Amino acid sequence: MNSSSFFFFKIVIAIKLIIILLISHTTFCAQNSVVENKSKSGTKENITLIDSVIERKVDSVLALMQPNEKIGQLVQYSGSRDITGPSSSKKDQYKLEKLKKGEVGSMLNITSVASIRETQKIVMEHSRLKIPLIFAYDVIHGYKTIFPIPLGESASWDLEMIERSASIAAKEAAASGLNWTFAPVLDISRDARWGRVMEGAGEDTYLTTQIGVARINGYQGKDLSDVSTVAACAKHFAGYGFAEGGREYNTANIGEFELHNTILPPFEAAAKTGVATFMNAFNDIDGIPATGHKMLQRDLLKGKWNWKGFVVSDWGSIHEMMTHGYAEDKMHAAELAINAGSDMDMESYTYEAALKPLIAKKKVSIKTIDDAVRRVLRIKFQLGLFDDPYKYCNNQREQEAIYTPEHLSIAREVAKRSIVLLKNDNDLLPLSKNIKSIAVIGPLANDKNSPLGNWRAKGKYNSAVSLLEGVKQAVGKSTKIYYEKGVDLTIPTVEAGENQFSRPLKFNKDDRSGILEAVEVAKKADFVLLAIGEDAYQTGEGRSQTSIGFFGLQLELLKAIKKVNDNIIIILMNGRPMDLSEPSEIVPSILECWHLGSESGNAIADVVFGDYNPSGKLPISFPHNVGQEPIYYNHKNTGRPPVKNRVTSSGYRDAPSTALYPFGFGLSYTEFKYSNLNLDQAEIPIDGEINLSVKVTNIGGREGHEVVQLYIRDLVGSLIRPVKELRGFKKINLKAGESKVVNFKINAKMLQFYTANKKWEVEPGIFNVWVGGSSLAELKETFTVF
């Protein structure tokens, strides 16, 4: 190209960019006007107009893009401290050059306003089209203000508070410059051995769906362009929680009907709610890796569900299809992934190497590439990044909107609502704040780090309020407090800044020196709070275990204390269901406290001393022992259901077939009675509706919350139906002696399932319905659908 031609070329490009800016400005003004009207009227027409404005913007940018720039939008890199400056790392230098060329669409793991601004600046000052980056991070249960781990928070069954905690996490993350989180986890998890069980909402499809929608609404708010919100990501699509044997990254053997009835509903609800992105999963499903699963991503998600966001791979999962034995090489892996519907490549460097030659060989169409790029650009426009690439980079907001007293106060509220009272013989709890003496004992009693849990984003090391601190702040001055650690839980601990994946899981089984000291203080105390359970890094990614018991010498400590003091309250801190069979036999009281986050100790003290009446309900079943795993309440009946003392039935010879503490279970300091279950009709057509009412009475002496749970069973179907399925719940508050009538509407949506006809429909027949305080609900009625 000669100099005059080159000059003319630059003129043309400049004119096009000016046109884009003008279009962007005028459509931005129109969009703002529409958004304002939307907030007043919320009409479907206004929403459609906003979408059409964004589509025109997307098309205008896409028309100017060269192939390498299109492919670049489908590339995501992990950042580092050196990405914006001098570095000896060849990989960092490589990423820097790609950023300058506009051949990167997103960065993850860059987390401060200063670093994000500098990284965005590289693109905006050097790249040809100046398409802004989107910055992502794993904000799973809080950013710097840490809330309970998702499994624990799910025990609150409090959708309003769950949405609020997600909105605070989004506000803090956005204040730090981020605009995309890899949450929520929508995996159904039935196996406590799986380390990532801590990240989801448990074993039930309906509960996971409701909580997932609440979290998405919390992260994304009503408008993604609001600078206090971030784009959410529904993950892992799909079947990851069904990993065989509970082993991380393992294959998932899932039938078609189980997939549709159990695993996919939370994801479909997420798509309909408008979640911005999806992330595919590491596992294969019946031989096909989720990353290359066309039926899931292309046909179902983007086709039948008509979802408009984009799919990001999990870390390196495109490249890993080669290890699976599904892809021959990098070229083949990229071909399979992009054609299946995986839009963005997270850290596998596969798309940037293979897509251009694949297009040349006509193995991937430019239409497929354009569809993926259009989806990425759409989210960037929705976030408002084209209007202001630095809109999230406000130093003052970063200083003022993170880890505030208000956020900590809400974290405390969410934490105490997440606590589940599993056992309370003789009403041992709550304790008086004026008791003479109390011993706080255990490896987790003064631990300020483990309560933060795994996946704690920017939660500061050792920043949680410990149990000991919470007790000291709660009791009166006359109460004598004793403390002993008793035993060590793990060696070594994770130090600040250390990579948790590099830390070995090692337990001290030899040092008993602290047990004697613990026994001595237990002798002196009226009551013992024994804090035992799991270290923060026993659960999470890569943390699957064959044992779900108490590691180290914790049970030995418990038994030694039991010999000198019967008034033991176990304060259980953990990220998965644990084997509580032995502790349940010998202690009068157990509080399931999970890893509760920043305000852990204060929240536990609120419950222990009666400032808050526990209202949590288990989102996942606790087994008698690990041999029962996977265990879940909504199992199928089999042809020979478990029958006591019958050998030829579906049970165990050495353990019950039921859970020790089942799904939906949780005690209170008061007692609730259910009565007068009534259906306004005994028979309805397929498209009919039944009004159900039940009377709930607080027959105890304290005010308290109760989660009223509705379960349904379709007795006969074209496919075997579970023995009981959660189909609704309401959390109510009752004063002592107060009664309330709680109403539910039973409609076709609650009764349908993915039938043998391979479609969602209601089948005529007889249905049982139960209402109660757990999956053990006994109050039952029957109705018929014709």
- Chain centre to alpha carbon of residue 202: 9
The secondary structure of residue 493, as a DSSP letter, is P
Point out which residues pair with 725 in neighbouring strands.
712
Is residue 423 within 8 A of residue 587, CB to CB? The reply is yes
**Alpha helices by DSSP H, 127-204:** 150-154, 159-175
Place of tokens 């002592």: 736
Residues in the chain, how many? 786
Given the structure tokens 């001290």, which residue do they identify? 508
d(CA 412, CA 406): 10
Alpha-carbon distance of 107 to 92, in angstroms, equals 12
The residue written with tokens 């109050």 in the block is 779
Query: C-alpha distances in angstroms, 460 versus 111, 209, 644?
Result: 14, 31, 51
**Nearest residue to 246 via CA among 197, 185, 191, 187:** 191
Task: Say what the alpha-carbon torsion angle 601, 606, 608, 611 is, to the nearest 10 degrees.
Answer: 170
- In this structure, how many other beta carbons lie within 10 angstroms of the beta carbon of residue 214? 23
Measured CA to CA, the distance from residue 89 to residue 111 in angstroms comes to: 20
Indicate if 314 belongs to the active site.
yes
Alpha helices per DSSP H over 283-427: 294, 321-324, 330-340, 351-360, 366-383, 395-400, 405-418
- Listed in sequence order, the residues at least 6 apart from 124 whose beta carbon sits closer than 8 Å to its beta carbon are 130, 132, 389
What whole-number distance in Å separates Cα of residue 752 and Cα of residue 269? Answer: 15
End-to-end CA distance of the chain: 77
Cis before 451 (ω within 30)? no
* Residues 369 and 338 sit within 8 Å (Cβ to Cβ): yes
Backbone angles phi, psi at 344, to 5 degrees: -120, 135
**Gap between the Cα atoms of 710 and 691, Å rounded:** 12
| Cα–Cα dist 38/696, whole Å | 40
Which residues are paired to 514 by β-bridges? none
Q: Which of 158, 204, 314, 535 is catalytic?
A: 314
Is 540:194 a contact under the CB 8 Å cutoff?
no
Positions marked catalytic: 314
